Amino acid sequence: MILDAIERASRDELETLQRTRLRETAARRGLDPGAELRDLPFTVKDDLRAAYPLGLITVPHEQLVRIHASSGTGGKATVVGYTRADLDVWTQVMARALAGAGVRAGTRVHNAYGYGLFTGGLGFHQGAERLGATVVPVSGGLTARQATLLRDLRAQALCCTPSYALHIAQAVREAGIEDLALEVGLFGAEPWTEGMRARLQAELGLVALNVYGLSEIVGPGVAAECLEGRDGSHVQEDHFLIEVIDPETGGPVAPGEPGELVFTTLTKEALPLIRYRTGDIGTVTLEPCACGRTTARMGPVQGRRDDMLIVRGVNLYPSQVEHALLTVAGIAPHWQLVVERPEQLDEVTVRCEPAEGGADRAALSERVRVALRERIGVGMAVELLEPGGVPRSEGKAVRVVDRR
């Protein structure tokens, strides 16, 4: 594995580079280049929408060599533009993400991310080509054909969303294919859990790695997990500066605590963004990684800012409850959170159920209670129902019942 020098630079070296580049980015945006990061204003998705389509582009439009757009759920699409140098940065960070997953010259890469306005397809494509890998640009759809091509072309790396990977796995099963050559999967563009990782690894016989990105910042490749560590995605900190903030106050959270992920681009020309609030909730650590990279690592995205509950003054994300429950052996992955305010204080009850009947219920309840307190820091009551007792839903599960 060959790392770029900056990926194993000292924190001092990296932060010096970030300060220099932050000044350049602030100047591009017409802001005070001498300002401290915390004094610069946030940018939000609505700023991009208000400037639709190209109002936030800071270069003459003839310098744009590519335009992408993300689908506008309930509003206008978000349009982003790239100069030649921007495409080069994006290609570099995607090449690093793929190299970190073991892809090298000659590796066969089956790219089932959608090609087109969405940044997934072309982002992975460029990075894989830069490494000299052999790209199969399948794009999304025609799932039975995906399975046949995986078998016939002997792809070693699979790139797509984790939910689509499960779909492909099903098509592989249905076609009776048993001899895939897959070694690694690079999955992203939607949040996923450790449970999903285990399932993808078992069904496709590969190592499943997370790739994080968003088109506003560059596309996929903002951060990526390494093959050696598989424990958080390395942020490409020479190009993107990450902060974790309290979504209510905008102030920093304590190290390791969950909060809203905020990115500042450090090298973008066409669409430099200062302190862009992603709405994604996650954590960041500077603990050393087995791979030798010194860059900060993001934990998995735990949910969206809009899902946050405030319970007795503590920010609580429903997904934190799920993560805590998943650590308790013997607990089924079905749960519900009930929030009440009988007097002055909020009370939270976690309803969950044993994976099978006959468990020692008192001991199981206690293990759940301890896991919740240790992982979340808010005391919660535990109501252990019978197996099948948590209401099931046909569509999106109802995880929170707020009776306040």
Using CB under 5 A, which of the segments 47-55, 148-156, 214-222, 227-235 binds Zn ion?
A: 227-235
Q: Supply the minimum distance, in Å, between the C-beta of residue 79 and Zn ion.
A: 34
Residue closer to Zn ion (CB basis): 291 or 316: 291
Angle, to 10 degrees, between the axis of helix 162-174 and the axis of helix 194-204? 30
In the set 222, 291, 298, 372, which binds Zn ion (CB under 5 A)?
A: 291
Q: Which of 158, 222, 213, 282 is nearest to 169 (CA)?
A: 158
Cβ nearer to Zn ion, comparing 138 with 289? 289
Q: What is the size of the binding site for Zn ion (CB under 5 A)?
A: 5
* In the complex, least distance from residue 335 CB atom to Zn ion, rounded to whole angstroms: 31
Is 226 a binding residue for Zn ion by CB under 5 A? The answer is yes
The CA distance from 146 to 165, in Å, is: 10
d(CA 150, CA 167): 13
At its nearest, how many Å lie between Zn ion and the CB of residue 203?
Answer: 25
Q: In what order do the strands lie in the sheet with 108-111?
A: 134-136, 108-111, 157-160, 184-188, 207-214, 219-224, 233-235, 297-298, 284-285
Which range in 78-86, 285-293, 323-331, 378-386 contacts Zn ion by CB under 5 A? 285-293
Q: How far is the CB of 229 from Zn ion (least distance, A)?
A: 3
Phi, psi of 270 (to 5 degrees): -75, -40
Cα gap 349→401, rounded to integer Å: 10
Q: Which segment (4-12, 178-186, 290-298, 324-332) binds Zn ion by CB under 5 A?
A: 290-298
Cα distance between residue 215 and residue 68, in whole Å: 8
| CA distance linking residue 116 with residue 74, whole number of Å | 21
Q: How far is the CB of 244 from Zn ion (least distance, A)?
A: 19
d(CA 60, CA 196): 44
CB of 234 to Zn ion, least distance (A): 6
Residue 230 or 367: the one with the smaller Cβ distance to Zn ion is 230
Give yes or no for residue 289 binding Zn ion (CB under 5 A): yes
Interface contacts to Zn ion, rule CB under 5 A = 226, 229, 289, 291, 293
